[in-house]
Structure 1
Amino acid sequence: MPGLLRRLFSPRWRHPDPQVRRDAAERLDPQSQREALETLVQDTEPDVRLAAARRLDDPQRLQELRVEGKGSRELDRQLIALLIGRQGGIELGRRQQIVESLDDAAMLEEIALQGDNQQLRLAALARLDDEAALIRQACDNGIAAVRHAAAERVTSEEGLKQLAQAARRDRHVVRDAKERLGRLRADADAVEQARERREQLLASLEQHARATWEPLYAGRFRHLEREWSRLADLPDAGQEQRYQEASLRCRKVIHDHEAQEHALRADRQRREQADQDREALVMALEESLAALYQGEYVGEQDLASLRAQKQLMANRWQALSEIHLADDGLRQRYDKALKNYDAINQAHQRLVERALPLEEAIRAGDEAALKQLVSDCKWPEGLPPDPRLERARHHLRLEKDLSGDEPSESQLTRFDEELDRLEALLDEGTFKGASRLHQRLRHLADQLPSSAGAQQSRLKRLGARLAELRDWRGFVAGPKREQLCQAIEALEQDATLTDRDRDRRHRQLVKEWKALGDAAANREQSERFRATSERIRESLKAWREQQQRLREANLAEREALCEQIEALLEQPAAQADPDALREIRDQAREQWRRTAPVPRDHAEAIGRRFGRIRHQLQALIDRRANEIADAKREVIDQARALVDARLPARQRADQAKALQQRWRELGRAPKGEEQTLWREFRQLCDQIFAQRDAERDDRAQRARERLEQMQALIDRIDAWQPAASSEADWLDKAVDEASALEPLPSGRRTEGMRKRWTGIVRARRERLERLSVAEVVGRWREVKPLILEHLEADDDCLAGRLCSDVEIPAALSLPPALKQAHAQRNAARRDPAPAEEVAERLARLRVHLALLAGHPIGHQDEPLRLAIQVDRLNDSLGQAPSREDELISVLCGLLATGPVSRQQWEREVQELDALLDGLSQLPPP
């Protein structure tokens, strides 16, 4: 009952019957019963939905329902009808606003095609983004402005092609599409040309980056940079990366060369500076020696200064020799200056050794001993004398000038000169020299004649001045002697000083005491000073003996060192390593410094000996370094010849490695030249190895190109499916092309490509074979009318009627093998074989055909299968026939076998046709 009441009192639009709901929907008021209509729009029945949608006339609400997910196909049709102006009478502005908010492409396309206003259609067209929809609008829209607007938004090349072909109704659209297509293709060609130009520039730049430096390297790089910057298009990321990498490599080559050139210039400057410094050293030593010859006398200070200058110059010369060897002229000047210095130094040493005997001979007036001592000094000619030597020479000249029985006028003049000299010495306060000269003049004054009274008087006056100077020295020296006595007694009592400091201070006090000479001398102070000095010497006796033993030990070590180096210099090794000799020199110098001091009387001699040895050792080092430098220059010449040699790059690289090994075995040239030679040799080796790397890269690039060509060939053959057996030549050409690409580089990719290539070629040959078999089967089926004529002739012959020959139709073209089989069939009717033999022959041909088709064979035909296989094995001893040849042979046998009765043929023909159908089927592509 409740269900009945519910049906009676429920609204009709909720009735179970769809027809009732549809009628109710048509009667509902859209204003007051809008919710019911919106509910019916989602009804399960299409008619009800359609009737409800037609009652809704508010497009905005319909759009909201679609957005809420309550839409349907009928609702969309109603919305389109309202928007295009077919229903509702809605003003254009409102419809246009709703169209601008739509996002359904199908609805927008429909509105653009059927809208009742151009602006409405343009608004719908503006919302379309699919190019296919725009092409349809440009082709099918009824308003020209809309067609043109749609055509303008088609930009792709494919879209413009379709537009030019499909837009037949509007010539403006076709013309504009063709023009834009032409511009697009022109732009694409220009872009492609620019890309090819950019690729060519990149290839040139990359090849330039792999090349070695040459004089035009930087200019070519700048030219390629300018060409790259002039290109109008922008490079892609890959091209930009390749350009930057190649540019960096080129700049590195240029920077390396500039750095090398800078190093060479710096090396040349260092060598020039070394030559200038060495020239300045030699000139300074020569000037010092010349100044020594131009002076009035040679003193201890002059020789000490010259000795220090020579030592500093020798050290500086050796340091400069490590940078660059001197030329022969400069070395000869240096050796000459050293020889001159050694002569002066040795002469001075001889004079020092004979200083006391000279003084004693002058004091005693022993002229013979004095002459011998002056001769033994061997003072260099032209060198100003030492003051001690000058006194001896002066004494000899004075004795010679003033000796004689009757003094002459010249002797008196000479005596006056000596008096002037004595007066000058007194004016200077030189007591010792004046005293010695006064004694000599007093001795010579006794030999003067009586007429030399003036000279005698002057000598007496100068003698009085000398006595006054003696008294003055005694007045000054008295307090000094007391101070020295007190100082030496204080030194004896001082226990805080070390033995070395005590000895040094004692020597200094003794030297000062001796410097006073006989001024203010008295016995008491002399004995006091001497006794204290003796006690100090006694206290230092043990230390002095220890120092003497140390000096003697140092002297022995220095002598042993000199002997070792001299033994080395006497018999130097032919291939002595300069580095080893330099190490020996440095170690000897260090050992020489450690073995000091030595006995004073041997110091000068052993020093000269070591200096001479060190100079000879340095000369040996320089000579061996020069020999190594010459040998390395020969290696550089061989490397330079190897750069231009017409040999494989790998062989040149191997020879360059051998030259590098020889370079290492030679040792080091002079320090400054070693770096220069090494840079030149390394540059040549870099060129050789760069050529090897470039050739290796070229081989790798060619190998990669062959791989890419092989890959392209494989892809091309893989996509190719032969449609006829005549295309076998194309496959043979592809195989020849693949053979021409060998050898391919080894690797997993190559192995995979070879396997894939083998499989593809095998599959294509199999397909070509199947195609040739299918073509043979097709040609056989063309022969079917001829076979039927043979069967009719066979029936006449077997029925005892006239056995006539069958003629080949004029329209039928048979190959020679089938023509021969046709003739054999006609001959078989004239001399028919037994029916059992014909049946057996047909069965054998059927089994043979089944073997070719790969079909199963029954047990009853097993003996025939075995016999056929044996025959096939026997036939294949020479060369196995192809399936096409075997099939032609079987088909010729079928045509030649006869006469065959109609019943016998019908028993075999169905299976034969099935086998031929199986042979004619092609494998899937």
Structure 2
Amino acid sequence: MHGLLRRLFAPRWQHPDPQVRLKALDQLDPQQPEQQHALKQLAQDSESNIQLAALLALDDLAGLVNTLPEHRQDEAWFNAICQRLCGTQGHTDLQQRQAIVAELTEPRLLNAVALQGDNLNLRLTALEQLTDESDLVHQACHNGVAAVRHQAAQRIESEENLKKLLKEARRDRQVIRQAREKLTQLRNDAEWLAEQQAQREHLLKQLEQHAKAPWEPLYGGRFRHLEREWQRLSHPPSVTQEQRFHQAALSCRKTLHHHETQEQARLQSIAHREEIERTRDQLLEGLEETLEGLSHAEQLTVQDIDSLRAQRQLLSQRWQSLSDQHPPSDSIQHRYSQALKRYEACMEAWQRWQAVSPDMETAIANQDNAAIASYVKQCAWPKHLTPPELLKHAQALKEADVSAKPSSIASLNALSAEVDNFEHLLERGAFKSASRLYQRLRPSIDELKGDEAKPLKGRVKQLAARLAELRDWRGFVAGPKREQLCASIEALADDQHMADAALDSHHRQLVKEWKSLGDAAANREQSTRFRTASDRIHERLAPWREQLNQERDDNLKGREALCEQLETLLDQPAEDADPDVLREIRDKARHQWRHYSPVPRDQSENVGRRFGAIRHRLQALIDQRAEQIASQKRRLIDQAKSLQDDVEQPLDTRIAQTKQLQQQWRTLGRAPKGEEQALWKAFRHTCDQLFAQRVAHKQEQVTRQQQTLDQLQSLIDEMDSWQPTQAKESATLEAYLDSISRLEPLPRNRRSDGMQRRISGIVRAKRERLSQLEIAHTVQQWHTALPLINAHIAADQQVLAGEESREIDAKEVLSEDLPAIFTEAHQQRNHARLTTSIPLSDEKLAELEDGLARLRVHLSLLALGSVKQRDEPLRLAIQVERLNEGINNERNRPDEIISILAALMALGPMPDPLWRKEAEELDHLFSRLARMPHP
């Protein structure tokens, strides 16, 4: 009963029948609080049409939008929301509608608002919420507001949608132009990217092919060229390309390192081989000189044979060890075999002599001439070898026994052979050996009698005269030299102002020259003078040598202390030691090690080995720490890649974390050489890809770029129309360039590229004109200074004629001030005239003529670009000098001409015929350089 009463007396908007509630809803007034409450209750009704009607009656736009997801398929619901958002119905203010639209995500509703909105800002707000480019294409083609169409067209980026926009956009030319420009830009970017990729692929193929090729002389240059071309490309390579490049570059560097190692080993092998050859030649020369000395000695003793045997044994041992390292050449091996044969012949003769010497003494004592002759024949002593004293006496007795007769043919032949050897020694200039041989031959020659011996005696007499002439010549040359050396060393000993180091050096040189004279023109007085002066120098240098030894000891202590410091550092290294700091310690240690020099020779090798071991340990520690840093940087790269792929986190959070990774990267040291650049490129590439996701809209940027290009175009036209007339107007060109630089950076498109090329051409033309104007101005200054040049020439002629030299005053000669560029040259010319010795030597004249010709040829190269055929050698020399000077500093043409004119003014004193010889051609070159360029 209670429920029935409630239904009978309840309001109609609470009736169970939906139709009753809907009719009752039309009677409710939202202005009355009670009825407004009823409408809010009906807005929660289960029936969608009642709920929609209640919200419309309340004019609750926010409620309509919030409940839209539940009634997405209800067209009436959608139309009602669309009409109220667009402003055709309802009383919601514009600001609230804009706020609601800014929160919408429904594309269909946003499209409707963008097309039908009653306000431009409302439409633009709806357009900003659209993300699908197909919706943007529809808005750009069919929206009734131009600003909306332009904004929508600006946001379209894909090539497919741009083509669709270009095809369907018939109402707005600006939209068509934007679409066409974007398509053109995309094509240009695609072409540029394809070109960059093609160039990288081409370079990679060339580099990989180069890495597989064997070494050749141009291998390193080609590798460096390919590496520069790779780095010159602006578009970053892919990870695969970067890996391929570093792998190929590593192979090329391995090839270069392998070749350098082989080349170094080859050079060391050649040097070692040459050292072996020198040692082998010295040993062999020693044996040959000993054998030669035995042939020319006055007598042969047991000591000579023992010394020869010991030298032969030493030679055999050293020869075998050297041959094990490197086999001798055929020529040196032949010399060695010949020397051994002579040695064996000498030893065999000595053994035969030892066997018959006791019997020989008995025969000589008994005056048994027949036995003596038999023993001499049995001994068979070689003719080229000096016999022992007893054998020589026996041979003399034998010859005396036959002296009653004319000299035999065999004896004359033997003496003739000795005389031939005597002549050979004279031809070689071997004075000592020739003198000993003559003293030995003279008794035998004097004993010869008969007509057969006269030619031999006459020949010996002539050779004796040559020997005396050689003795006199050695005395003639060596005598003044000895006197000069004595005077020099005495003057050196009396010089109390010379530094100790220079005194020691001069003293050593004089002693070396004195020893090189040998016994030529030697006398006791000069030897005593030289030795006394040398002893005085030794006494004076004794404190300096002690100080030098003390410095060596101090340097040794410094090196040992340095080694101890480094060993302490290496024994307890810090776990987080920065490899850059360790590298700095290594470099400073090397510098200090070189500073502590010299050290005592007997201890330098030990401390050097100690420092070398320390240096290897320090380098190993550096490599270990650098590898640890490389591992940490690889982990940072992995973290950056994970942030790039993590789409769940907000972009701002990932950017902040990426910046933290960059800060961590900066705090780390450097990885090993060769890996640091690759790791940095990989890390930077990952960060760049993440930062690229923050790129904002480009409309403002495009507008600014267009304005910048227009300003640049006006500047280009103004600069092109400007024609400089004076060299000092270069400031105007710099002002133009400064104005252009303020507009940079320029956008990358065909227009800007064309402008850049035009700017380069205009600037090059203006600079060439300014350079020519500067050259013409310089030559005009030269013409202004011609009276001064003529005054210098006249003063030079007076000096060369023997008159007193005088200094030319530029103020007296010129009516105006001398140009600053010639002031120093004018002073040099006056100084040269005052200091040059007169008359000029042939060497000085040749120097002046060569200097004037070089200046003329250099000026001809700058003025004409060519020289005459006779000046080709000078042209080549000047071009080589210009190339060498251009390596360190680049000189322009006006500076070169100024330097030539200054050098031409400073060259002197100049003979008048020499000047007139070149003056005409110089005037022709000046006239050509002074021509003003056409505007």
Structure with bigger RCO (C-alpha 8 Å, 6+ apart): 1
TM-score range, shorter chain: 0.3 to 0.5
Normalised by the size of structure 2, how large is the TM-score? 0.37
Larger radius of gyration: 1
TM-score, normalised on structure 1?
0.37
